[in-house]
Structure 1
Amino acid sequence: MSHATFNRRWATVLLETLTRHGVRHICIAPGSRSAPLALAAASSDKWVCHTHFDERGLGFLALGLAKTTHQPVAVIVTSGTAVANLHPALVEAHLTGEKLIAISADRPPELINCGANQAIEQPGIFAPHVSASLNLPRPSPAIPARWLVSAVDTLLAQQQHGGVHINCPFAEPLYGADSADYLSWQDELGSWWHSGKPWLSYPQQSHAATEEDWPQWREKRGVVIVGRVSAEQGKQLAAWAATLGWPLLGDVVSQTGQPLPSASLWLAHPMAQQALADAQIVVQFGGSLTGKNLLNYQNRCRPEMYWLVDQLPGQRHPGSVGGRRIQADISDWLQRHPAVVHQPWCPQLATLAQRTTHYLQQHLQQFGEAQLAHRLTALLPENGALFIGNSLSIRLADAFAQLPAGYPLYCNRGASGIDGLLATAAGVQRGTGQPLLILLGDLSALYDLNSLALLQQATAPVVVVVVNNQGGQIFSMLPTPVSERERFFTMPPRVDFCHAAALFGLRFAQPAGWHELRDAVAEGFKAGTTLIEVVVNGDDGAQTLARCASEVVHL
C-alpha cells in the first residue's frame, strides 16, 4: 500500500479535526512537502481555500480573515524558510488575539541537520509568539488516529488567543492517486466523522465576573478610555458612557464615533488637564492607544480607582497603573455592569472638542494628507469598511478625523508594523464581503506590494489610497538629525505607483485636489479594485500635525 496515500489519510484527519474548532478558511502557499495537506484541503468543500505565492502575505491574509470572521484560520506552508515567513503575522496575532493555526510541512527527522535541501529546524520556531505548539511524528499506521485527533484537540484547547503551530513531517512519496488504502485506520474514529464535535473536549470557564462595588463607583465622577474594540462594542461603549455622563476618550480604533473628537490634540490643554484631575475612577476598554497625549493621560492620571477591561490576558497598561485588570468579553461585562442616567460632570471637554473642530475646519484647507485625514469620513463606502495603515496615516486620522460610531475599522495595531498591511486588508475584505477603503503610506504599500495580487480577487469593490509623501515622514516628528534624516530614516523611494497598478491590472488614478480625489474614490467603488496615489509635499502632513498640536493648547 502506498505511503503517499497514508500521508493523505493523516492530513485529512488533521484538517477534519480543525473543523471541530470552527476553522472554515484555510490559506495555502505552494510547496511540495506540504502536498498531502494541500490535496487533503482541496478534496473537501468544508473549507474555503485561499492561495497566495508569498507566505508572508499569506499569513497576513489569514490574519485579516480571522479579524472579520472571529474564527480561527489555518495556514498551510511547505518546509524551510517558507515557515519563517509566517512569523510576522503570528507576532501580530499574538498581540491582538486573532486565532491563527500555522501548519508547516517538514522533512522527517533523518533529513534535518544533514545537508538536505530545504530543511531547517522548525519545532519551536515561533516561540514565544504562539500560545502552544505541536510537533507531530512522521505519519505511521502504527500511531492510532485517535492519538492524532486527541493531540490536535488538546493543542487547540490551549488557544484562547493568538496563534498555535502544528509541525508535520512527511516522508516521501508525497504524491499518488488516492485509493481505498488505509481506510480502516481512519475509520476507527467511527461516528466522530459525522458528529461535528471534538474527539476530546475541554470545557472553558467564563471570566465575566461582576464587580460587586460597581453600584457605588457608577455614582462617582468617571472617565472612559476606549482603545481597540469591535465595532459593536464601540457603539455599546459610546451609549454606556453617555448614559453615565462620563466623558469618553476614544482612540481612532475605538469605533465609538469619538464623541469628543480630536482628543489627541486638546488633551494637552490646561483646561482639560485641570478638569480630568477631578475624575475618581477611570475605566479603560481595550488597548493599543495611538495618540501621544492620550497615552500620556493614561500613564499619568491618578484617580482613586483604575479598571482595565479587555478580553486578552496579561498586563495591558504600559504605565503599569494599579487598580483592577479585568479579563472579560466587553459586551458581556457591560451587561453585568449597567449604567444609570447622570448628567455630564465634565462639560469643559465638550467645549474644547468643539473649539478644536472649528479650528481644524479653518486650518485644514490645503490639499494634502492632513486634509485627507480630516475629511476621511466623506470617502467611506456605504455598508463597507475601512482599513488604515500604521505610522503617520493612523496618527493623522486619530487627530483629525471623526469616524461614524460602529463603522468597521481594521488595522494592525499590535506590533504596529508596516509589513503585511495590504495582505491583511485583502483578508478583511474576503471575510466581510463588503466594499473596503484602504489608506496607507508609500513605504507600507511598497513593503507589501505583491499582495496587490490578492486584491485582484476581491469579492466587492476595493479602493487603495496610497499617500506618497516621499518616505517615512513620521521620522520628521522625532528628534532625528536633519542632516541624516532622509538617508537613514525617511528613505524616500521615489516611485510612481501607476506602474504598480499596471503590473497587477488594477485601475489607477492620481488626483491633484480634494474634489478629484473624492470623485476618483466614488468611481472606484463602482467595481473592481482601484489604486489611487495621492502625491503630497514631503513632511507637510507631519508638520501640520505638530503645528495643530502646539496651537490647540492655546485655544
Structure 2
Amino acid sequence: MKNSNTQSTPETLDQPSPAVLLGAVLVDELIRNGVREAVVCPGSRSAPLALAFAEASRAGRLRLHVRTDERSAAFLALGLAKYSNTPVPVVMTSGTAVANCLPAMVEATAMNVPLLVLSANRPWSMVGTGANQTIQQREIFGAHAVATLELDAAIDAVAAGAAAPSASANTAAGADEAAPAAALDITNPLVRRVRVKVDELLRAATHPSRGGGAHLDIPLREPLVPESITQLTLLARQLAEEPARATAAERPSAPARTYVLPKQAARLPYGEATVDASKRTLVIAGSVSDRAWAREQLEELGDLPVLAEPTSPAPDFPVHPAAAAMFTTGLVSHGEYSAATRPEQVIVLGRPTLHRPVTQLLASEDIEITVLTEVEQPTDVALTADRVASTVRVTGESPQFWLQVCRGVSELGAEAVRDGIAQATADGAFTGLHVAAVLADSLRDGDALFVGASSPIRDIARVGLPFDGVRTVANRGAAGIDGLVSTAVGTALAHASADPTAIRAPRTFALLGDLSFLHDVNGLHFGLDEPSPENLVIVVANDDGGAIFETLEPGGDSLRSFDDGTPAFERVFGTGTGAKLAGLCESAGVDWVGVHNPAELAEVLDALEHGDLDGEAGEKLGLVPGRRGGGVLVVEAFVDRRARVALEKSIRGKVTPGE
C-alpha cells in the first residue's frame, strides 16, 4: 500500500486495496438495483463489506442493521425480504458464521424469498490447509440456494487493472499491494466484472418462479480495510456518481433497475386451467409468494367456497377449517336429513400445510385435483394432481345446494370453536386458542401479523384468519420454530417502512409459543442505536413446553410414562423449561407484561390500541418497561397445556363425521 503519510484529497483518490474496492463496488451495485436494507454481522474477513455498507448507511443510501448472531441476522433479513418482496443481503465472515445462515436459507428458498447471503472467505488457496477459520463454505447451502456464485481469484486484480487505463495491471493478480492512482478508473472491465456478478446474484434470487435464497462467496486478501475512513467515503462517492448506466448496454442481459419482484403473468411457469364450477368444488388456499397473483386467481374463482390458511389472501367465501374433516366423508346425516359433503373437485392455490383433513382430501384418487402455482415446484404431496396451472378460468355456476352445504360446514366449525372456548373459559381454563381468539379480535385494518409454527398458526386459522386488511406472515416453507423472533422484528421494520409518510408506525403483532420465543430470544438483543421496531407486540402463549404434542399421537395417555413411572412424554415432548420471560425481556431492554386470563389479555391489547399503556394504566396492568423506551412489547400469556387437551376434544367431537 501507499505510505500512510501520503494523504488523499477530495480531488484525488489513492488506489484502494482489492478487498476495499470490491466491497465498495458490490454495495454500490446492490443499491443501484433497489436494495434498501442490509444486515451485517461483525467480522475481520468481512470488514471490506461491513465498512462499505456502513458508509452507504451514513450517506442515506440504505438502512443498515447490525447483529452479532448470524442465525438471528439471517432471519432478520428474511423477515425484511419476505414482507417487502425485495432482496435483502446479510453479510458475515468466514467459517461457521456462514453455516448459521442455513435455516434461513432453507426457508427462503422454500418460499421464494430473495435472501442474499454474502459470505467473506479466505483466499481459496488457504482452504483445506488448516488455516484459521476456514471451512468448505462454497456450496455449503447445497440445494437450499437457488444460486451459489463466487468471485474468483481474478478479482484480486481489480485494483491493479483499475489503476491503469488499460486492462494490463501494474501488480500481478493475487498480490496484496497495488500501485496508487490519481483517480479510480471505474470503466475498467474488472470493476464491471463485480457488477455483473452482483446482477447475476440478484437475477437468480428474484426469479419470478424459481427465486429464493442466493449465496455469493467472496474470497478476500489483506489489506482488508482502507488507509482511512476518508478514502472509503471518497471511493463510495465516486462510484455513486457514476452515470446511471453508461456501461449497461455493454453487459449481457443487463437487469432491470430495481428488483421489486417481477410477477408478470407471461413469466408464470404453467398455463391456464379451465374448471367447471357446476361440480361440487372446494378451493384450498395456502401460502403464496406472490399475493397479487393469488388475489387475481381468487377473484376469478368468485363465489366458490375457499378453505384458506391465514397466510393466504382473504377469500370472498371462506370455509372454517375446524370442520374440514366433514369434506372427507361421502355423506353426512343428521336425523332424517343427509347431504353430500365430499367435493368432486378441489382447486389448490399455493401451498397448504396446516390441516390433516386437507392432506387426506388431497390424497384422494376419486377427486379431480387442479393445482394452481406461481412457482415451478407445485404442491402435489400425494402425486394425485390431475393438472397444474398458473391461472384459472371458471365456467358454469356452483350448485346452490353445494354452497349451502359449505356454509353449513363452515358454521359448524366456527360454532364448535366458539362454544369450546366459551365452555373452557367458564371452567376457568386459559389456553393458546384463547390467546389467538383475543388477539384476532383486537386486529384492525392496516395491521400486520407474524405467526409462529406449531400451535399458534393453527390457532389463528381457527379463530377466523385471514382477514381483509391484515397481512399475515409466517415461515411456512419449512415450518420450523427457529428464527421466529428475528423474522417478526424484520416483518415489523419492513411493515413500518412501507409507508414512510405515516405519522405513527403501523402495528405489527406476533403470536409465538414459549419454545419458539426461547429458541430465538437473541433476536431481541441488538445495539441500542440500531433500527428498532416502533410498534411491535409479541404475544407469547407460554404453556411451558410443547403444547401441540399434547393433541397429537405422542400425547396419548398410554405414552405418558414408562411402567416404572419414569416420565416419557414430558421428558422428550413436553420439554418444560420453567423459563422466566420477564427476566429475559429485561436483559434485552424490551417492555414486558404478563396476563393470566382472556380478560387481562383483552385489557392490555385495548389499552395498547388507545395509547393508554404508558404511565398509570401500564403500571396497573403490571407493565415492566424496558430500557429501550418502548417500541417492542412482549405480552406473556400464562396458559394451561393440559386444559388444551379437553378443549381440543370438545371441538373435535362436534366436527368429526360420525361422532
Using the size of structure 2 for normalisation, the TM-score is: 0.75
Which runs of structure 2 are paired with 1:222-237 in the superposition (5 Å)? 222-229=281-288
What is the CA distance between 1:373 and its match in structure 2?
2.4
CA distances 1:503-531 after superposition (whole Å, capped 9, x unpaired): 11222111122121012123345462211
Q: Distance in 2 between matches of 1:261 and 1:162?
A: 31
- Structure 1 residues 210 and 51: CA distance shift in structure 2, 3 A: closer
Q: Would the aligned equivalents of 1:79 and 1:118 in 2 still touch at CA under 8 Å? A: yes
Which runs of structure 2 are paired with 1:496-511 in the superposition (5 Å)? 496-511=580-595
- Structure 1 residues 476 and 358: CA distance shift in structure 2, 3 A: closer
- Structure 1 residues 208 and 82: CA distance shift in structure 2, 3 A: closer
Q: Distance in 2 between matches of 1:349 and 1:534?
A: 35
- Of 523-532 and 487-496, the range deviating more from structure 2: 523-532
What is the CA distance between 1:500 and its match in structure 2?
1.4
Q: Distance in 1 between matches of 2:61 and 2:478?
A: 33
CA distances 1:358-414 after superposition (whole Å, capped 9, x unpaired): 333222121322222234321225521111110111122223434423420011011
Using the size of structure 1 for normalisation, the TM-score is: 0.88
| 1:275 corresponding residue in structure 2 | 340
Q: Distance in 1 between matches of 2:234 and 2:420?
A: 73
Match of 1:133 among 148, 166, 185: 148
CA distances 1:125-175 after superposition (whole Å, capped 9, x unpaired): 111110111121243235622222223333433332111111111111212
What is the CA distance between 1:219 and its match in structure 2?
5.3
Structure 2, gaps ≥5 residues long: 3-14, 162-189, 256-261, 333-338, 497-505, 562-567, 612-629
Match of 2:550 among 445, 461, 476: 476
Q: Distance in 1 between matches of 2:273 and 2:432?
A: 47
AA of the residue aligned to 1:42 = A
Which runs of structure 2 are paired with 1:166-245 in the superposition (5 Å)? 166-175=216-225, 176-177=227-228, 178-179=230-231, 191=243, 199-201=251-253, 206-208=266-268, 214=274, 217-218=276-277, 220-229=279-288, 239-241=299-301, 243=302, 245=303
Q: Would the aligned equivalents of 1:135 and 1:167 in 2 still touch at CA under 8 Å? A: yes
Q: Distance in 1 between matches of 2:382 and 2:572?
A: 31
Confirm or deny that 1:34 pairs with 2:46. yes
Structure 1, gaps ≥5 residues long: none
Which runs of structure 2 are paired with 1:252-267 in the superposition (5 Å)? 252-256=310-314, 259-267=317-325
CA distances 1:235-284 after superposition (whole Å, capped 9, x unpaired): 5555443x3x42211123223158444324343364777635352x4221
| 1:348 corresponding residue in structure 2 | 405
Number of residue-to-residue matches in the alignment: 541
| 1:512 corresponding residue in structure 2 | 596
| 1:284 corresponding residue in structure 2 | 348
Q: Distance in 1 between matches of 2:467 and 2:652?
A: 23
Which runs of structure 2 are paired with 1:51-130 in the superposition (5 Å)? 51-130=66-145
Match of 1:404 among 467, 471, 484: 467
Q: Would the aligned equivalents of 2:144 and 2:213 in 1 still touch at CA under 8 Å? A: yes
Q: Distance in 2 between matches of 1:95 and 1:407?
A: 23
Q: CA RMSD in A?
A: 3.1
- Of 160-169 and 140-149, the range deviating more from structure 2: 140-149
Confirm or deny that 1:492 pairs with 2:542. no
* SS of residue matched to 1:252: coil
What is the CA distance between 1:208 and its match in structure 2?
4.1
CA distances 1:186-228 after superposition (whole Å, capped 9, x unpaired): 98x97456788994426799334895662x6355443211101
What is the CA distance between 1:94 and its match in structure 2?
0.9
Identity of aligned residues (%): 28
| 2:489 corresponding residue in structure 1 | 426
- Structure 1 residues 317 and 529: CA distance shift in structure 2, 3 A: same
* SS of residue matched to 1:509: strand
Q: Distance in 1 between matches of 2:222 and 2:484?
A: 37
| 2:518 corresponding residue in structure 1 | 446
AA of the residue aligned to 1:537 = D
Of structures 1 and 2, the larger Rg is shown by 2
| 2:653 corresponding residue in structure 1 | 550
What is the CA distance between 1:89 and its match in structure 2?
0.3
Q: Distance in 1 between matches of 2:81 and 2:474?
A: 12
Q: Would the aligned equivalents of 1:55 and 1:77 in 2 still touch at CA under 8 Å? A: yes
- Of 250-259 and 369-378, the range deviating more from structure 2: 250-259
| 1:462 corresponding residue in structure 2 | 536
What is the CA distance between 1:485 and its match in structure 2?
0.9
| 1:436 corresponding residue in structure 2 | 508
Q: Would the aligned equivalents of 2:414 and 2:462 in 1 still touch at CA under 8 Å? A: no
Q: Distance in 2 between matches of 1:116 and 1:151?
A: 27
Which runs of structure 2 are paired with 1:299-338 in the superposition (5 Å)? 299-300=363-364, 302-304=366-368, 306-326=369-389, 328=390, 333=391, 337=393
Match of 1:162 among 189, 212, 221: 212
What is the CA distance between 1:341 and its match in structure 2?
6.5
Q: Distance in 2 between matches of 1:373 and 1:455?
A: 31
AA of the residue aligned to 1:277 = R
Q: Distance in 2 between matches of 1:251 and 1:35?
A: 43
* SS of residue matched to 1:318: coil
- Structure 1 residues 67 and 288: CA distance shift in structure 2, 3 A: same
